[in-house]
Structure 1
Amino acid sequence: MQDTFDKTGNGVEKPSKTQRKQTMHALQKIGEQLTTLSDKQLDDLNLPDNLLEAIYHIRQIGKFGARQRQLQYIGKLIRQIDIFPIQDKLNAWQQKSLHQTALVHLTEHWRERILSDANALTEFVKQFPATEIQQIRLLVRKAHKEKNSDKPPKSYRLLFHALQTAIKNAQN
């Protein structure tokens, strides 16, 4: 580490070139995440106008090299602002997205189990007691009929939504 001296003569450690580069790359990755957000999400972040302009501009760029240069520019602009509130919001949105994905997978799992195993509905009701069991039984019967007669899977989808609603209600 290189030591530099402040006005009082005390040694202050200066970050190495590698550390500075890692920081710049991390900021560039945050900038890349920002380019994938919707306009509403970008408005929620209260970003400076020049940064918003750069993000909107990158959406129009198709060539790889030009896109990389624009990402570097966005990273440079991000260095001038406080990144912690932005990072917190991005993390919160990602957690919400992960939670939604987990909910969909859990619902799909239960739907397949209920359709293939008659005892699975009893287990589901034990785990999620606020379930409307008559509605789910009806949807299961209809889903089996649709599958056997090669009809569109309307009840199959409705069963998914009914199960998802029961799981959400149990989580709240």
Structure 2
Amino acid sequence: MTDPEEEQAPPSKTQRKRAMEALQELGKELVDLPVDRMKRVELPEDLREAVRAAQRMSRHDEARRRQLQYIGRVMRDVDPEPIRRSLAVVRGDSVDETAKLHRIERLRTALLADEKKLYEIAENFPSVDRQHLRSLRRAALLEQEQGKAPRSYRAIFQLLKDLDSPAEAPSTENDHDHR
């Protein structure tokens, strides 16, 4: 008696083709990303170069199709799961990322409803420029009142999002001169 896993047959041609098409589709998602979001996805350098080359192709012709196939071939040697997770975060599909965005939206709504929320934000994020945030709040309320485009409203969201990102967290390392 042998273990059923040992007798497992190699993948069929159809299975291999589906896997290759899935990698190509993942590569196409990478190519379709805006450059600023692309920078946030961790990729091996050869794959990053192949994606950049496809992004520079303005026409969707045979050359671009071949480049996408090449990206799929390069991806055979890469674990696609970390790339899929990174894409989910960049697209906002990640549950954590979605929860963070909802939390920021609630904070923005609370700030617009009550100026006292400004002090709570300043307490939680000491690096925030209170005067700038206060002026954005006033401008956003004025925009809402006058039915104008919500520029300041969006700026508040971006400011809160930047404050909430780990890259903005204060560093305790190298703050002191170690002699």
Aligned equivalents of 1:26, 1:158: Cα separation in 2: 38
Unpaired runs of at least 5, structure 1: 1-9
What's the counterpart of residue 5 of structure 1?
none
Cα–Cα, structure 1 residues 54 and 152, in superposed 2: closer, same or farther, change >3 Å? closer
Give me the identity figure in percent: 31
What's the counterpart of residue 45 of structure 2?
46
State whether structure 2 residue 73 is matched by structure 1 residue 76: yes
Cα–Cα, structure 1 residues 137 and 45, in superposed 2: closer, same or farther, change >3 Å? same
Calculate the TM-score normalised by the size of structure 2: 0.51
**SS of aligned partner of 1:83:** coil
Does the Cα contact within 8 Å between 1:58 and 1:70 map onto a contact in 2? no
Q: CA RMSD in A?
A: 4.9
Calculate the TM-score normalised by the size of structure 1: 0.52
> For 1:36-77, what per-residue CA distance to the aligned partner results, in whole angstroms no more than 9, with x for missing partners?
4648679951327xx945861563251355533432343234
What's the counterpart of residue 90 of structure 1?
83
Which of 10, 33, 44 is residue 14 of structure 1 equivalent to? 10
Aligned equivalents of 1:54, 1:137: Cα separation in 2: 42
Work out the number of aligned pairs and report it: 153
- State which structure, 1 or 2, has the greater radius of gyration over its C-alpha atoms: 1
Unpaired runs of at least 5, structure 2: 1-5, 170-179
Aligned equivalents of 1:54, 1:168: Cα separation in 2: 27
Aligned equivalents of 2:51, 2:142: Cα separation in 1: 54
Supply the AA of the counterpart residue of 1:71.
L
Supply the AA of the counterpart residue of 1:59.
R
> For 1:81-101, what per-residue CA distance to the aligned partner results, in whole angstroms no more than 9, with x for missing partners?
x211xx254245335423666
In the TM superposition, residue 30 of structure 1 has moved relative to its aligned partner by 3.0
Aligned equivalents of 1:77, 1:168: Cα separation in 2: 32
**SS of aligned partner of 1:26:** helix
Aligned equivalents of 2:54, 2:164: Cα separation in 1: 42
Structure 1 or 2: larger strand share?
1
